[in-house]
Structure 1
Amino acid sequence: MSVYDERPWLALYGDQPADYAVEFDDALAMYRAGVAADPDGVALRYFDGTVTRRELDELTDGLAAGLLADGFAPGDRLAVYLQNVPQFVIAMVAAWKAGGVMVSINPMSRTRELSYLLADSGATVLVCLEHLYDEVARDVVPGTGVRLVLTTSGLDFQTRDDERLFAGVTRQRHEGTTDLLEFIGQHRGQTPPPVELAPDDVAFLTYTSGTTGVPKGAMNTHRNVVFTAQVYRDWVRAGRDGSVFGVAPLFHITGLIGHVAVSMLVPAPLVLAYRFEPQVVLDAFLEHRPTFTIGAITAFSALLNAPGFTKDHFASFTSIYSGGAAISPAAERAFLEATGKQVHNAYGLTETTSPMTVTPFGSPSPVDPTSGALSVGVPAPNTVVRIQDDEGQDLPLGEVGEIVAEGPQVVAGYWGKPEETAANLPGGALRSGDVGFMDPQGWVFIVDRKKDMINASGYKVWPREVEDVLAEHPAVRESAVVGVPDEKRGETVKAYVSLRPGASVTPEELIAHCRERMAAYKYPRSVELIDELPKTVTGKILRRELRGA
């Protein structure tokens, strides 16, 4: 037996169970139990608006009934292209009630990205913000299998329109679309027929980039969702003392589980504020007094540096976790000094449906004395994390290798990509692509990324995608994109570019070229023009040399 099978971290679980059963067969049953437990309690808070669990159930029933009447069938995909608004949760639950799969799409995605995601997922319904339809989706939808577009607005479900987020925003009606709330209203009062969902059915597709740089739809199953929601409730203390605040974007796996799913399970109110804007978030903290949140350390740093920040903004919190971007010991100390609260570390991927390792609630993560790295926690309950070499063999504790995880949170595979599934999830164990080690007590430390992925403010950027966009510019001969340290984003995108003979272009023009074609977190923040990119004798570009430039 391998030392990892012996699970040396079990002694660190404290009063939390080392093994426990998944309580519900599917996420819809989990949601229904929450409604039954507290039907008149608040499910969602959005600025000055509230939605009770009973109201949420009526809204999702109406939407599900309408979808089925329109031809939506079990197994169909409904794509959600929204910010952190109540409509996101409504659409997700309605998709489950109709027997379907929700596809989460980053609202920063532009035409090229949205086209790929809709085509790859085979979505037949798109729920999107009105302005995103006008700016992006109207040019995309005709070339996809989407046959119903339901549009909505961030102005819905509130009466006090915040000028910092909604200045100049008006309602828009576009030809070929249907207003979401009007569509629900036409079917409100109807109850969709019972649906049978199995633990291994897909609850939602969340897209990630892999070794080839092509986005892959991770198939997060209902079992994955329920299990990780339980981990948040039982081990992270999410929602047990009050409301959950949605700092992370809901389209991201952290928001889907650490905000939406756990709020359904507990049940606890979920507080949403459209998108992350530091001053708006701080004001919402004072207004709603949430008790739990999880987000990237870069987001928390932005809150600490926002004008008017005081320790009182975080006074109501009893549990705060960070994931999506590495925390340095200095950042952890700074947060504690500024807020009086301990930020706990967690680590997971889209393919692990959020956490695979978590710092036990109430205790800080240790710091590795050699590297100075802060631990990302110990394996979650029912989870075995291994450190392996390139041949897939377990390495001794303390040695550096690839982090591999297996457990109830690991996805079934990638949508429509059996070869990628076999390569990245051999035997059902996820090869993370991250390099790290485990100490004798079971604490996991991340040393570096095996792949060339850039992690900017918790968002993952694949260099090849940026390079492909740069290659579309007529002046560009070759390019190489790398991640470089950034105080605010943790890591940011930099491009090294060589030009075609006789061509002329400025770095600013190349940045603008990318900004017009990519999500905001992807385009390079700096471009350096060089005569030749460093290469191996076989012509492979040496990104590692550029990182050290």
Structure 2
Amino acid sequence: MTDAGRPAPHDVARPVSAYDERPWLARYGDQPADYDIEFDDALDMFRAGVAKDPSAVALRYFDGVITRQELDELSDGLAAGLVAGGFSPGDRLAVYLQNVPQFVISMVAAWKAGGVMVSINPMSRARELSYLLRDSGATVLVSLESLYGEVAEGVVADTDVRLVLTTSELEFQSRDDDRLFAGVQRHRHEGTTDFSEFVAEHRGTVPPPVDLGADDVAFLTYTSGTTGVPKGAMNTHRNVVFTAQVYRDWVHAGRDGAIFGIAPLFHITGLIGHIAVSLLAPAPLVLAYRFEPRVVLDAFAEHRPAFTIGAITAFSALLDAPGFTEDAFASFTSIYSGGAAISPTAEQAFLAATGKQVHNAYGLTETTSPMTVTPFGSPSPVDPTSGALSVGVPAPNTVVRIQDDDGNDLPLGEVGEIVAEGPQVVAGYWGKPEETAANLPGGALKSGDVGFMNPEGWVFIVDRKKDMINASGYKVWPREVEDVLAEHPGVRESAVVGVPDEKRGETVKAFVSLRPGASVTEDELIAHCKERMAAYKYPRSVVLVDELPKTVTGKILRRELRT
């Protein structure tokens, strides 16, 4: 499962540059620039938390509670049953679930059986699910009953899946909330095995010991496919343990109380910023099935969590939800945002509404969540030229560089592609050596994002490299236009794309959704930008829409707006 051909970062020959000197780590963080990775694998990390206090709460799901000891026993039972059925070290177990306890049970069980968990977006449809199962070679599928009946039932026959375990969002709690569970009924599908019955049958049996290594793959997380066919990033146990430590030590996750799972668990933010750090801290993880603003606010009031990380679009939805008050966030001591860029306007709006500072972090699936982090208690600066809010400084043990198209380091302050190397960078893409060589040359990730670093070590993202607009030979970065639009009081969200233009080659077009009750015309928004931007930058056309197309993690799908 390891990539023997990938050199360690310190073996890569490169002239020392300004990016190798990282004084900002000592200046802004409370951890040294280089610190030890505490566990060899994520399973040892989990077991240390159980040993610390077996009776402490591991998971809260509405009114349901699972202690660390119960989580250990449930995952033991699942792992023992898998092994008895022929599941071997290195085999893949796919989870097709929402934010439910069964997700965490399945993850830990896969490790206990020596295997790899494959996280699948529950919004995936038949074509997408078929590709992910076949590409990963998963032999076990854990699925919600509803998703199996709607999608998976017609897919699994053409894959390597030998065992399907189905479960329900109604399990592990007793509430009947129509906002989430309206119309949900239990249904046993032919050819499937009930998850809870399977676990109960083997509960009390301890699976045989496994020998996991730091370079073994803990899970496969698939890239969103916004730039092509999804690729399975091989997140190793070293990746998982290291980034969990970054959350605990730099982000203060799990230090002051429960972690709320606002991000989808299948996504790298949920896998690390929710599950992994809750196992490491250890701290209770609060789950609420899926994101529904009023349900999330109720869960905040009931469980009083201390930390969460999610897309700024989710936080904005909470602020706009009926019944929102400043007290909703009163229990939080640390709040972070990732997955989508934050404008300074959105940051200030959140602070004004909640009295809490939202901190910024930046990473990709291939960096197992964060590569840069705003150290806890240090608000991100705003670049005076571009108006962009910083996404933090490089995490410990991490070198972030800004490079030109030929892979040469650019001087501090100049704009280029963001490249990262460190213990969080994945070993490669599952079964795709050519893509690995292209995107991870020498073990350093070419992010595809364009940005710059200032002399103090703060990183600023300009935009996705592929999204740059060339208008009459001038470069226009969509995010800059979007940040200007965000300054208008009537704008809720916007997305800017380049469209063909006979005279300019490309021209700037904006898609805008308005705040409830706002009355703004397209011409007014164009004038707003024209007053604040160079003539080649402001949008020549604006389209008002109810909602912008997004991934489940809140990233806007610009490609759908170009068509």
CA separation in 2, counterparts of 1:85 and 1:251? 11
Q: Deviations over 1:129-182 (max 9, x none)?
A: 000000000000011010100000000000112121001211011000000000
Q: Deviations over 1:434-468 (max 9, x none)?
A: 00000000000000101359999xxxx9x9xxxxx
- Is 1:216 aligned with 2:231? yes
CA separation in 1, counterparts of 2:211 and 2:266? 25
How is 1:348-363 mapped onto 2 (pairs within 5 angstroms)? Answer: 348-363=363-378
Partner in structure 1 of residue 19 of structure 2:
4
Which residue, out of 111, 129, 132, partners 2:126? 111
Q: Deviations over 1:318-367 (max 9, x none)?
A: 00000000000010000001000000000000000000000010121000
Which secondary structure does the structure 2 equivalent of 1:317 belong to?
Answer: coil
Q: What is the aligned length?
A: 482
Partner in structure 2 of residue 231 of structure 1:
246
- Is 1:429 aligned with 2:427? no
TM-score (ref. length: structure 1): 0.84
Letter in 2 for 1:127: V
Percent of aligned pairs with the same residue?
A: 82
- Is 1:63 aligned with 2:64? no
CA separation in 1, counterparts of 2:213 and 2:373? 27
Partner in structure 2 of residue 383 of structure 1:
398
Which secondary structure does the structure 2 equivalent of 1:451 belong to?
Answer: helix
Which residue, out of 91, 106, 124, partners 2:106? 91
Which secondary structure does the structure 2 equivalent of 1:234 belong to?
Answer: helix
* Ranges in structure 1 where 5+ consecutive residues have no aligned partner: 464-479, 490-514, 529-542
Q: Deviations over 1:260-305 (max 9, x none)?
A: 0000001000000000000000000000000000000000000000
How is 1:185-200 mapped onto 2 (pairs within 5 angstroms)? Answer: 185-200=200-215
- Is 1:101 aligned with 2:101? no
CA separation in 2, counterparts of 1:255 and 1:378? 21
Which residue, out of 332, 348, 359, partners 2:347? 332
CA separation in 2, counterparts of 1:127 and 1:77? 11
Distance 1:322 1:282, change over 3 A: same
Distance 1:54 1:25, change over 3 A: same
Which residue, out of 421, 427, 431, partners 1:416? 431
How is 1:73-222 mapped onto 2 (pairs within 5 angstroms)? Answer: 73-209=88-224, 213-222=228-237
Alpha-carbon shift at residue 210 of structure 1 (Å): 6.1
Distance 1:51 1:523, change over 3 A: same
Which secondary structure does the structure 2 equivalent of 1:29 belong to?
Answer: helix
**Farther-moved stretch of structure 1 (265-274 vs 212-221):** 212-221
Q: Deviations over 1:37-71 (max 9, x none)?
A: 01000000000000000000000000000000111
CA contact 1:321–1:344 (8 Å) conserved in 2? yes
CA contact 1:64–1:95 (8 Å) conserved in 2? yes
Distance 1:228 1:180, change over 3 A: same
CA separation in 2, counterparts of 1:240 and 1:522? 29
Q: Which runs of 4+ in 1 moved over 6 A?
A: 453-456, 518-528
CA contact 2:267–2:553 (8 Å) conserved in 1? no
How is 1:262-301 mapped onto 2 (pairs within 5 angstroms)? Answer: 262-301=277-316
CA RMSD across the alignment: 2.6
Which secondary structure does the structure 1 equivalent of 2:134 belong to?
Answer: helix
Distance 1:103 1:350, change over 3 A: same
Distance 1:300 1:212, change over 3 A: closer
Partner in structure 2 of residue 472 of structure 1:
none
Q: Deviations over 1:488-538 (max 9, x none)?
A: 89xxxxxxxxxxxxxxxxxxxxxxxxx9xx98989989989xxxxxxxxxx
Alpha-carbon shift at residue 17 of structure 1 (Å): 2.0
CA contact 2:340–2:554 (8 Å) conserved in 1? no
CA separation in 2, counterparts of 1:2 and 1:526? 36
Q: Deviations over 1:21-52 (max 9, x none)?
A: 10000000000000000100000000000000
Which secondary structure does the structure 2 equivalent of 1:263 belong to?
Answer: helix
Alpha-carbon shift at residue 10 of structure 1 (Å): 2.7
CA separation in 2, counterparts of 1:405 and 1:416? 22
CA contact 1:244–1:292 (8 Å) conserved in 2? yes
Which secondary structure does the structure 1 equivalent of 2:51 belong to?
Answer: helix
TM-score (ref. length: structure 2): 0.82
Alpha-carbon shift at residue 15 of structure 1 (Å): 2.5
CA contact 2:313–2:554 (8 Å) conserved in 1? no
Which secondary structure does the structure 2 equivalent of 1:102 belong to?
Answer: strand
Which secondary structure does the structure 2 equivalent of 1:215 belong to?
Answer: coil
